[in-house]
Amino acid sequence: MEITFLLIVEIIGTLAFAISGIRLAALKKFDWFGAFIVGLVTAIGGGTIRDLFLSTTPFWMLSYWYLIVTAMALGLVILFKRYLVRLDHTFFIFDTIGLALFVVIGMQKSLDFGFPMWVAIIMGTITGAFGGVLRDILINEEPLIFRKEVYATACLAGGLSYWLISHLGGSIVVQQISCAAIIIIVRVLSVIYNWSLPTLGNDNKDYTNQ
Amino acid sequence: MEITFLLIVEIIGTLAFAISGIRLAALKKFDWFGAFIVGLVTAIGGGTIRDLFLSTTPFWMLSYWYLIVTAMALGLVILFKRYLVRLDHTFFIFDTIGLALFVVIGMQKSLDFGFPMWVAIIMGTITGAFGGVLRDILINEEPLIFRKEVYATACLAGGLSYWLISHLGGSIVVQQISCAAIIIIVRVLSVIYNWSLPTLGNDNKDYTNQ
Amino acid sequence: MEITFLLIVEIIGTLAFAISGIRLAALKKFDWFGAFIVGLVTAIGGGTIRDLFLSTTPFWMLSYWYLIVTAMALGLVILFKRYLVRLDHTFFIFDTIGLALFVVIGMQKSLDFGFPMWVAIIMGTITGAFGGVLRDILINEEPLIFRKEVYATACLAGGLSYWLISHLGGSIVVQQISCAAIIIIVRVLSVIYNWSLPTLGNDNKDYTNQ
């Protein structure tokens, strides 16, 4: 039963990530194929980088439902484009839940492969946040997470709570739930209170020398 | 003898892909080294992504003639730049033949690695089309195949015909020839009749919320 | 003792590469997290691509000091930004020493994995120069090394001297020192005398046809 619940959450997260990519592709006037690829890369890109780093076969090559969910996301955007615009808050919730789950999955997989906790935290953050980086590279924009919102920081905070609970002797389920909860809380609070990280530099000197 | 024929076609395809990358690098005023890298990435990038996904050593690390063909492509563009401009139709033919062959090679290699047909179709499309995506990322442009021409769609159509012939009991050679033929036909027809996929979105709303 | 010396040089090189990335991220007004990632990718990106191509676990997943050095680089840029601008010449020296060491490390690792010398030269160049390419992709700029400075060419020249000394029967240490020396000399001379490679094309024809 828990597996079924996790699967539903993973589908919702994949759908939310894919829709976020497809909506940005729509702004760039990509065709359906391009929008599908951008949606797919947003949804599975982070986990693909993680799996390449873990020297294992990318997860989406073992089950075709990631493709099907992305195709469903494309269909939804094509059919309900106007209405989807008004659902920003709904998508934000799905996207945040998906993010939390992706980080937990990425951390768990890295630990299962025998890597230490600090590698697992990085892999969790990559799983959650780097699909969006690949998306921004594909649509030729500066990666959003490098300039806006406490997105990757939420992943890191969740990862650190996973570590902390593990040190305190909590069970794996408690570690995972606390990790996911911290990510959701930090991300929601950061949007409500408009938190952001300090930025670097505001002078116009040309530092380029490499 | 067939291997020799295939090798010649692969060299022609590699040359055509490399020249397409080098000509775009020339537009960006890249130096010779940059042009060589862009040409090389266009020619071998798709197959490299495929091999990383298949957890195997990239094919071009096992034989240096891909480098030599790319160096030849660079030499040709440097020497005959003015004349090459007039040969667009010739390049289109070479490029299309190379595309068809690359898709067949990518599919066959994935099937040989024990992956199912739907993975092979994706790997074939990646082999044929994603060198161009990497090229466009390197020259800092939005990927062309996401907005113009029925390029990746031709790869998919070829892959589906491979699948269909395989279901109907055709031999591997028939599967491969029909796959290549469909790709060439779809791509040529799409250029002649100016086919394109529908695009997404034409309003100016800012969808960005991730 | 030599290992200690090499380690110090590698730390200095990593620090110099990370600072070069962080300073460019500062120009783009990235936040601290974004700047950290750009610095990290500049420092470890080339070796990561090399390790994926060699089918081995990326080196930075086996020791966390690359993360710590990058965090130190971020701290240095935040604290001493104004003063760092005046240290361009110092950074150039560190950056060049780091480059030379990274190429030698990349070549040695590839040879240890059983690849031939021509693959090792490519892997050395990737180790030294492609962190900067990934950095430029992340900050959405055309890769600098494709248009300016004899950077990758210095790596290639160093790799060729490694090969030559190996053919002439020199010991591995002599091969490595000559490789590093050639890289440093070529890069320093190229900046002093403003060497550059020829560029391709200066007409406005639209070559795009793929």
State residue C202's pLDDT score: 52
Residues 62-121 of C with CB under 8 A from A: 64, 67, 77-78, 81, 85, 88, 91-92, 95
**Per-residue confidence (pLDDT) for residue A120, from 0 to 100:** 97
Q: According to the model, what pLDDT value does residue C201 have? A: 64
> B80 near B55, Cβ under 8 Å?
no
Nearest chain B CA: its distance from C101 CA (Å): 21
Contact B119 A95 (CB under 8 A): no
Contact between chains at B26 and C207 (C-beta distance less than 8 A) = yes
> Using a CB-CB distance cutoff of 8 angstroms, which residues of chain B are in contact with residue C54?
57
| pLDDT tens by residue, A23-56 | 888 888 888 989 999 999 999 999 999 999 999 9
Residue B55 Ramachandran class (φ > 0 left, ψ -120 to 50 alpha, else beta): left
Q: Chain B closest CA to C81's CA: distance in Å?
A: 29
Interchain contact, B118 vs A23, CB within 8 Å? no
Q: Considering only alpha carbons, which residue of chain A is nearest residue C90?
A: A209
Task: Check whether A208 has a pLDDT greater than 50.
Answer: no
Q: How confident is the model at residue A9 (pLDDT cuts 50, 70, 90)?
A: confident
For the cut 80, the answer to whether the pLDDT of residue A167 exceeds it is yes
pTM of the model: 0.91
Nearest CA in chain C to A132: C138
pLDDT class for B87, splitting at 50, 70, 90? low
Burial letters A165-194, b for 16+ CB under 10 A, else e: bbeeebeeeebbbbbbebbbbbbeebbeee
How do residues A123-157 score in pLDDT, each as one tens digit? 999 999 999 999 999 999 888 777 766 788 899 99
Q: How far apart are CA C37 and CA C39, in angstroms?
A: 5
pLDDT mean over B97-122: 94
User: How far is the alpha carbon of C67 from chain B, nearest alpha carbon, in Å?
Assistant: 25
**Residue in B27, B37, B64 closest to C201 by CB:** B27
d(CA B52, CA B55): 5
Q: Nearest-CA distance from C149 to chain B in Å?
A: 10
Residues of B in contact with A78 (CB under 8 A): 200
> Do C4 and C75 contact (CB within 8 A), yes or no?
no
Chain B touched by A7 (CB under 8 Å) = no
Number of A/B CB contacts below 8 angstroms equals 93
How confident is the model over B105-110, as a mean pLDDT? 94
Q: Which residue in the set B27, B30, B48 is minimally distant from C207, CB to CB?
A: B27
User: Average pLDDT by consecutive 10-residue portion of chain C (210 residues)?
Assistant: 70 90 87 92 96 97 94 92 70 86 94 96 95 92 78 90 92 92 93 84 46
